[in-house]
A and B are shown apart, each in its own frame.
Chain A
Amino acid sequence: MTTGHAMIELHNVTKYHERERVLDNVSLVVDEGQMLGLVGPGGSGKTLLLKVLCGLVKPDSGSVLIDGVDITRISPVELSDVRKRIGMLFQNYALFDFLNVEDNIAFPLRRAGGMGEREILERVNELLERVNLPGINYQFPNELSGGMKKRVTFARAVIAKPPIIFYDDPTMGLDPVTSSKIFIMLEEFQRTQRTTSICITHDLLGARDICDEWAMIDEGRLVFRGDLSAVRASSDPFVTEFWDGAL
């Protein structure tokens, strides 16, 4: 359910990498409470787009507004404040090697301050239960399987209950059963917290029913935007070929 308030806005965003245009005049609006699925071939600029959205990469032109604040024109301190409202699930887990699972998940809350250690640990344990990984608090990332790492990364991304979450291929390299569990978690979190999210995925079948709308990107250009019925109705060969078998 969306409120109609634009939470994420990209206006004519262009980014070059060594003279090659890797994002080409991308404009996109995501309303509060909406979950947008972002799909496209490998190397089309999806991950880069997410990094631009959370201010990790600065575009060469265009503007990026997060809840009305243009993050391309603010100071590092102000950008830090905006980032505190964003959760990010990285494609390659990005769990901190030197911290155990409990410390990894608790990290955003401990750094933010303002919450007691007991409360933080309660929240960590509650999330570990929720992602079906109870009791692994003291294991280190190198002791976990890919699926477990993804679920721990998910727990870290959502522990501070950010109003905006970016998921970068949350099911990449996972078996169908684990993928399905992760999508159920995303859907449940989306439903209960009413976050605004963008989810990059290649698992169209798994994500089909949890995203409100879909955007397709190809060679840095946004080539499609619409809901599932628009996907079905599309006669664009790029869209139909990409979705072939997932509808």
Chain B
Amino acid sequence: MIGGRLLALMEQLGGMSVLAARMVWGLVTLRADRTEFWRNMYRVGVKSFPVVAVTAVLVGAITVIQTGQVVAEFGATSLVGWGTSFATLREIGPILIGLMFSGRVGANNTAELGTMVVTEQVDALRALAINPIDFLLAPRYLAIIIMMFMLTIIGNLMALLAAAGTAYVLLGVDMRLYYASFAELIELWDFFSGIIKAVGFGSAIALVSCYFGINTSGGAVGVGRAVNSAVVASAVSIFVLDFLLSAMLP
């Protein structure tokens, strides 16, 4: 039983590695479809903006609410800017935006690809002498990574603004004090560390969602199963990557 599951997991990891190599090869050799790439940039990025914006604003506000009580107790309000920015940029921002992105974009990507498989649209592409990896998967892979990167930058900015606003309203921390604490104590690397994680999460979401989508079988039930597997695997990948990157990055 355990051996069988381990074998299945190894098979999936192997399949993902091969798929990743093929998608990257399609991108490197410029065979990936450009129209599909731009269509997915819009679909993945522009359409995800509202949900990422709401998540980011709430992340900023919640961080202040959670730390506010302790900060006020110790009279360390001058450190609010540093504390919330550090947590948001390095950890909470990328993780929560990644999870929202996985739920919205990853699940949608798997469902769309899975439906295309079970309705023979992928077979139709192959019958028309078109490689589905170059036409369908590689453009999505790149679009998801780029958009996760860009939305994390925008999301971080929005979260910091929301945190500053919440600190002012709830704790009476002056905006200039908040900014001074941020500017003095936050290093550029704190920002880059979060961005590197975001790119890693984007890559994992893109690969996992494409893999489960293109390997869908068993009709509508199979699509549901594939989406479920993709969402769970994406979330697990995000936390595993976060652990590894947190340990590796200074």
A84 to B125, CA, bound (A): 11
Residues in B99-133 with C-beta less than 8 Å from chain A: 112, 115-116, 119-121, 123-124, 126-131
Tell me the A119-177 residues at the B interface (CB within 8 Å): none
In the bound complex, CA of A88 to CA of B130 (Å) = 13
Chain A-chain B contacts (Cβ-Cβ < 8 Å), number: 46
Q: For the complex, is B34 an interface residue (Cβ under 8 Å from A)?
A: no
User: B39 near A54 (CB under 8 angstroms)?
Assistant: no
> Which of A81, A83, A96, A111 meets B126, CB within 8 Å?
A83
CB within 8 Å for A84 and B129 given contacts A97-B115, A97-B116, A98-B39? yes
B124, A94: Cβ atoms closer than 8 Å: yes
A111 with B124, Cβ < 8 A, contacts A92-B119, A97-B115, A97-B116 known: no
Question: Taking A94-B121, A94-B123, A96-B121 as contacts, is the C-beta distance between A83 and B116 under 8 angstroms?
Answer: no
> Is A90 touching B129 in the complex (CB atoms < 8 A)?
no
Please name all residues of chain A whose beta carbon is closer than 8 Å to the beta carbon of B126 when the two chains form the complex.
55-56, 83
Instruction: Report chain B residues within 8 Å CB of A94.
Output: 119-121, 123-124
- Contact size range, B: 10 to 19
B128 A92 Cβ-Cβ under 8 A: no
State whether A81 and B129 are in contact (beta carbons under 8 Å apart), knowing that A94-B119, A98-B39 are contacts in the complex.
yes
Q: Which residue of B lies closest to A88 (CB)?
A: B127
Docked CA distance A83–B132 (Å)? 14
Near A by CB (< 8 A), chain B positions 193-246 give none
Main secondary structure of the interface of B (DSSP, over half): helix
Binary interface encoding of chain A residues 63-94 relative to chain B, with 1 for a CB under 8 A from any of its CBs, else 0 = 00000000000001000110110101011111
The CA of A88 and the CA of B124, in the complex, are separated in Å by 8
Nearest A residue (CB) for B115: A97
Task: Contact check, B123 vs A90: say whether CB atoms are below 8 A apart.
Answer: yes
Question: Which residues on B sit within 8 Å (CB–CB) of A108?
Answer: 128
Considering only CB atoms, which chain B residue lies closest to A54 in the complex? B127
Contact assessment for A51 and B115 in the assembled complex, using a CB-CB cutoff below 8 Å: no
In the complex with contacts A97-B116, A98-B39, A83-B129 CB distance below 8 A: yes
- In the complex, which residues of chain B have a beta carbon less than 8 angstroms from the beta carbon of A91? 120
Chain B residues with CB under 8 A of A90: 120, 123-124, 127
Q: Are B129 and A56 in contact (CB under 8 A)?
A: no
The answer for the CA separation of A220 and B209 in the assembled complex, in Å, is 36
| B123-A56 in contact (CB<8A) | yes
Q: B121 and A107: CB pair below 8 A?
A: no
Complex alpha-carbon distance, A86 and B126, angstroms: 11
**Bound CA–CA A76/B112 (angstroms):** 26
Chain A residues, CB < 8 A from B115: 97
Q: Which B residues have a C-beta under 8 Å from some C-beta of A? A: 39, 112, 115-116, 119-121, 123-124, 126-131
23 examples of A-B residue contacts, CB within 8 angstroms = A51-B123, A54-B127, A56-B126, A76-B131, A80-B129, A80-B131, A84-B129, A86-B127, A90-B120, A90-B127, A91-B120, A92-B120, A93-B119, A94-B121, A94-B123, A94-B124, A95-B121, A96-B116, A97-B112, A97-B121, A98-B39, A111-B129, A111-B130
Chain A residues within CB distance 8 Å of chain B: 51, 54-56, 76, 80-81, 83-84, 86, 88, 90-98, 107-108, 111
5 other A-B residue contacts (CB within 8 Å) besides A83-B126, A94-B124: A54-B127, A83-B128, A84-B129, A94-B121, A96-B116
